[in-house]
A and B are shown apart, each in its own frame.
Chain A
Amino acid sequence: MNALELHAVTYSYPAASEPALRDLTLEIAEGEFVVLAGGSAAGKSTLLGVASGLVPHFHGGRFDGRAEVCGMDLRSHGPAALAGEVGTLFQDPETQVVMGTVRAELAFPLENRGYEAVAVARGVEEVALALGIESLLERTTVDLSGGELQRVALGAALAGRPRLLVLDEPTSQLDPVAGDELLALLRRLNEEWGTTIMLAEHRLERCLAAADRVIALERGAVACDAAPSGFLEWAHRREPGLETPGAALIAGLGLGPPPAGVKQARATLRAAGLLPDVAAAPEPPGDHSRSPGGWRRHRAEGAPALQPTLRLRRVWHELAGGRAILADVSLSVRPGERVVLLGRNGAGKSTLLRHVGGLIEPTRGRVERSGRVALLLQNPGDYFVHDRVGDELDAEALREAGLEALADRHPRDCSGGERQRLALAIVTAGDPPAAVLCLDEPTRGMDRLAKRALADRLVERSGLGGAVVVATHDPEFAASFATRAVLLADGRIVADASPAELLSGGWYFATETARILGGHAGILTAVEAIARLGAGAGALESRA
């Protein structure tokens, strides 16, 4: 029996002008690990909704064709009936936890299936042990971090051992460490429990190595359905926005096959004699000096000694109970600098940006700003108060943001990238222009093209003399725009260096290209690597 079978499925949301899924026919066998790829609004979430029964039973709309989930016909089985066979995990951990304690949360789906008390107790213990969350069982859910909440939500989805697990960008709000842990868990569930996995994800480089198959959707239809290497070949030819940095590197060097992960890419480079010797690697570029405090202060190479536009002097943010969210943070940012703040969930990045934006006051220390600060927080939707995009901004600002075509649309109906642009235009509008632009996790749920466009806008803005400070979990995005990288841990700045130095040598806070090359010469992107290694490949060919 297949985990999912679709025959000529076409689906439209209520009042939608176009179908979200078009004539979709596919089968997913039991035990497969399938990654769904595609840009924003390609139909990934809708397909997952079909697998969980939310489409059409919860969302309504028009559904044509036939769908079977774990042998159950979707026409006669809704999400509650499918819940025994299908576990579902959404993007936002906060809305996925409905009970007060972790134990109650894990017991909830089992109780809904009518399990006896003994089976409920056993199921809770087993899933907690399998996910390593047994220490959280007696904790209240309001006290959990984002990563812990996501693991608990995964536990609730897995309670009762469903045959099919559907996940919609489950790592988008997690730091690289928690994201990698979650993906490792999924791989283990797939290999050891035989659970079928359907995972929609924008950061494909994180999950392709675990996948058996990739289904790329384009405007609701299947554009590619192949093994990871076949998908990457297709992406290289047809949809570069979906190509992983590792695959772009290998293709750019004229090698093959496209690698699904770091290990495969290194093997290909090694076979071609292009894998750099990390032990003999030159120091990454950058101009550093060690401060008396022990951590490094960085000045961008060639940057003029301008007066800082933003200066944090020994800033502390302490809670009433005594815990410090920020501890003795000092940071200066000059005009034209593009600073990326990195660190795990709870490291203090968002709190630091709130201090910069003046939303909160330090309990000790001070923040000095030489001009207006524009702060874009994590949810662009929070900035919208009108029913029309055109009412949020004046016509000129709308035109500058390239959003004049959307003037009559409701802001909530815009795509993720469009909402981001609109919110950015709202906070940067007006006179005088903002001296500092701060963005908190701006790439959540964004596809690669939207991220590239955002990076270009940030570079353009700093070129006009504005400083940019961005908190992100996405090393690829950080490498695409930053001139300086700051790493926070437990509310302290533990490293302040060039992106080449900070993002190349590590494992979690590193780009895929840097991981493939083992941090060689501070190379962060496929373009840089092709330029540097391509010369080496040319030399090899000449010798031959």
Chain B
Amino acid sequence: MTYLRRASPLHAARASVAAAYCAALVTAAFLSSHPLVLAVLALAVLGAGLACGVGSRVARSLWLSLPMGLAIVLVNALVTREGLTVLVRLGDGGPLGQLDVTLEALAFGAKEALLLVVVVAVAALASAVIDPDEVLRSLRRVSFRSALTATIATRMLPLLALDARRIGEAQRCRPQPPGRLAVMRAITANALDRSLDVAATLEVRGYGSARRPPRTRRAASRHDLAVAASAVALVALAAAWPAPFSYYPTIAGSFDASAFAHAAALALVALAPFTQRRGISR
């Protein structure tokens, strides 16, 4: 989950605008209850990832979120008492009471799973396209101590991941590899050493002087404007023109032309900033 520098409109936009775009995608997903709209939003996020050159990262996150989505569908079907269309009667479930699996509970679980898939995909997109240095720099102007914590954390995460892999390899080299608990202890002890090293580096680079970084004046680029407009339009469209779909007590909603038009409009708005590729660089 690290920033990937690519030549794309979203990378070219300033970090705050890119973050707003990602937040707008998530907001639009939360405002929508129609499964078609959510599915199209997931595809739009994947499209945005592909347009940014980080498609494989977003696709992997989609793939990884599927088991969790399936778990949500199953758990919701088993624990929800709502819904009138009973598909399976599983009998007495002990402390869970009577277990009836309803069509509505399955459908609602699927909608929640789709929502999760969109959120995870947007998180993957955000981590790959939002420059953490720019975010931390902005944060340093607002809150020095929070920025310090965030700086150490962002630097420590990839370092600790590398260390954990290295220590795991070293333990495999022992004639009798130790248990997982012992390895975890070793990794934790190493993490403390590492955090001290990073903190010492921050000290000698003058971070402790707590001066606010200079304000850099930068005119809004065409990509800033396009991405910001897309973010605003996404939220406005999702809020002002909802595609109605309710799940309980019975499913009420349709996959009619209006729903398709709504989903298509959201996808177009989400992907519109990527049609303009002039003036971008790595």
CB within 8 Å of B: which residues of A?
A: 52-54, 57-58, 78-81, 83-84, 86-88, 90, 92, 94-101, 104, 108-109, 111-117, 120, 138-140, 142, 156-157, 354, 357, 359, 372, 374-377, 379, 381-386, 412, 426-427, 429-430
> Quick one: closest B residue to A98, CB to CB?
B155
Beta-carbon contact of B133 and A99 below 8 Å: yes
Q: How far does the Cβ of A5 sit from chain B's closest Cβ, in whole Å?
A: 20
Beta-carbon contact of A430 and B197 below 8 Å: no
Beta-carbon contact of B171 and A385 below 8 Å: yes
> Quick one: closest A residue to B212, CB to CB?
A114
Beta-carbon contact of B131 and A377 below 8 Å: no
Contacts of B175 in A (CB 8 A): 372, 374, 427, 429-430
Task: Determine which of A83, A120, A426 lies in contact with B204 in the assembled complex, contact meaning CB atoms within 8 Å.
Answer: A83
A115–B216 alpha-carbon span in the complex (Å): 12
The B166-183 residues at the A interface (CB cut-off 8 A) are 166-167, 169-176, 178, 182-183
> Quick one: closest B residue to A376, CB to CB?
B173
Task: Determine which of B183, B207, B217 lies in contact with A385 in the assembled complex, contact meaning CB atoms within 8 Å.
Answer: B183
> Quick one: closest B residue to A104, CB to CB?
B133
Beta-carbon contact of A100 and B3 below 8 Å: yes
Q: How far does the Cβ of A224 sit from chain B's closest Cβ, in whole Å?
A: 28
B 168-202 binary contact with A (CB < 8 Å = 1; else 0) = 01111111101000110110011001100111111
A selection of 13 A-B contacts at a CB cut-off of 8 Å is A78-B203, A90-B200, A90-B201, A100-B131, A108-B207, A109-B205, A111-B140, A111-B211, A139-B5, A140-B3, A382-B167, A385-B183, A430-B176
Contacts of A375 in B (CB 8 A): 173
B 212-233 binary contact with A (CB < 8 Å = 1; else 0) = 1111110000000000000000
Q: How far does the Cβ of B192 sit from chain A's closest Cβ, in whole Å?
A: 10
Beta-carbon contact of A383 and B166 below 8 Å: no
Beta-carbon contact of A112 and B174 below 8 Å: no
A57–B199 alpha-carbon span in the complex (Å): 12
Q: How far does the Cβ of A407 sit from chain B's closest Cβ, in whole Å?
A: 18
Task: Determine which of A88, A115, A140, A142 lies in contact with B214 in the assembled complex, contact meaning CB atoms within 8 Å.
Answer: A115
Per CB-CB distance, the 3 closest pairs between chain A and chain B, nearest first, are: A80-B208, A83-B206, A382-B170
Task: Determine which of A96, A101, A113, A139 lies in contact with B209 in the assembled complex, contact meaning CB atoms within 8 Å.
Answer: A113
Beta-carbon contact of A80 and B209 below 8 Å: yes
> Quick one: closest A residue to B174, CB to CB?
A426
A99–B140 alpha-carbon span in the complex (Å): 13
Beta-carbon contact of A114 and B205 below 8 Å: no
Q: How far does the Cβ of A499 sit from chain B's closest Cβ, in whole Å?
A: 26
Contacts of B198 in A (CB 8 A): 95, 98
Task: Determine which of A80, A100, A385 lies in contact with B203 in the assembled complex, contact meaning CB atoms within 8 Å.
Answer: A80
B282 at interface by CB-CB < 8 Å = yes
Beta-carbon contact of B209 and A83 below 8 Å: yes
Task: Determine which of B169, B171, B282 lies in contact with A138 in the assembled complex, contact meaning CB atoms within 8 Å.
Answer: B282
> Quick one: closest B residue to A140, CB to CB?
B5
Contacts of B215 in A (CB 8 A): 117
Tell me which of A92, A95, A139, A377 has the highest count of chain B C-beta atoms within 10 A of its own C-beta: A95
B246 at interface by CB-CB < 8 Å = no
Beta-carbon contact of A100 and B214 below 8 Å: no
Task: Determine which of A117, A372, A377, A382 lies in contact with B216 in the assembled complex, contact meaning CB atoms within 8 Å.
Answer: A117
> Quick one: closest A residue to B162, CB to CB?
A94
B2 at interface by CB-CB < 8 Å = yes
Contacts of B76 in A (CB 8 A): none
Beta-carbon contact of B166 and A382 below 8 Å: yes
Given A104-B133, A111-B214, CB of A98 within 8 Å of CB of B197: no
Beta-carbon contact of B208 and A117 below 8 Å: no
Contacts of A120 in B (CB 8 A): 214
> Quick one: closest A residue to B168, CB to CB?
A382
Beta-carbon contact of A359 and B169 below 8 Å: yes
List 15 additional A-B contacts (Cβ < 8 Å) besides A113-B209, A140-B2, A383-B174. A83-B205, A98-B202, A100-B132, A100-B133, A101-B131, A104-B133, A112-B205, A114-B209, A115-B214, A117-B216, A140-B3, A359-B169, A359-B173, A377-B170, A385-B171
Contacts of A386 in B (CB 8 A): 182
Beta-carbon contact of A359 and B209 below 8 Å: no
Given A96-B201, A98-B205, A385-B182, CB of A359 within 8 Å of CB of B172: yes
Q: How far does the Cβ of B161 sit from chain A's closest Cβ, in whole Å?
A: 11
Contacts of A430 in B (CB 8 A): 175-176
A383–B166 alpha-carbon span in the complex (Å): 10
Beta-carbon contact of A98 and B151 below 8 Å: yes
A48–B198 alpha-carbon span in the complex (Å): 17
Given A98-B155, A100-B132, A384-B186, CB of A79 within 8 Å of CB of B173: no
A522–B162 alpha-carbon span in the complex (Å): 41
Q: How far does the Cβ of A398 sit from chain B's closest Cβ, in whole Å?
A: 15
> Quick one: closest B residue to A386, CB to CB?
B182
A57–B198 alpha-carbon span in the complex (Å): 16
The B258-282 residues at the A interface (CB cut-off 8 A) are 282
A98–B178 alpha-carbon span in the complex (Å): 33
Beta-carbon contact of A79 and B208 below 8 Å: yes
Contacts of B239 in A (CB 8 A): none
> Quick one: closest B residue to A118, CB to CB?
B214
> Quick one: closest B residue to A373, CB to CB?
B173
Contacts of B208 in A (CB 8 A): 78-80
Q: How far does the Cβ of B218 sit from chain A's closest Cβ, in whole Å?
A: 10
> Quick one: closest B residue to A380, CB to CB?
B170
A414–B178 alpha-carbon span in the complex (Å): 21
Q: How far does the Cβ of A50 sit from chain B's closest Cβ, in whole Å?
A: 13
Contacts of B172 in A (CB 8 A): 359
Beta-carbon contact of A156 and B173 below 8 Å: no
Beta-carbon contact of A383 and B214 below 8 Å: no
Contacts of B236 in A (CB 8 A): none
Tell me which of A92, A96, A120, A376 has the highest count of chain B C-beta atoms within 10 A of its own C-beta: A96
Beta-carbon contact of A52 and B204 below 8 Å: yes
A88–B210 alpha-carbon span in the complex (Å): 19
Q: How far does the Cβ of A530 sit from chain B's closest Cβ, in whole Å?
A: 40
Beta-carbon contact of A116 and B206 below 8 Å: no
Q: How far does the Cβ of B66 sit from chain A's closest Cβ, in whole Å?
A: 21
A268–B159 alpha-carbon span in the complex (Å): 49
Contacts of B211 in A (CB 8 A): 111-114
Tell me which of A84, A88, A112, A359 has the highest count of chain B C-beta atoms within 10 A of its own C-beta: A112
B158 at interface by CB-CB < 8 Å = yes
Q: How far does the Cβ of A61 sit from chain B's closest Cβ, in whole Å?
A: 14
Beta-carbon contact of A377 and B213 below 8 Å: no
Given A100-B133, A101-B5, CB of A90 within 8 Å of CB of B197: yes
B81 at interface by CB-CB < 8 Å = no
Beta-carbon contact of A92 and B197 below 8 Å: yes
Beta-carbon contact of A109 and B206 below 8 Å: yes
Contacts of B189 in A (CB 8 A): 412
Contacts of B213 in A (CB 8 A): 111-112
Contacts of B166 in A (CB 8 A): 377, 379, 382
Contacts of B217 in A (CB 8 A): 117
Beta-carbon contact of A112 and B209 below 8 Å: yes
Contacts of A142 in B (CB 8 A): 2, 158
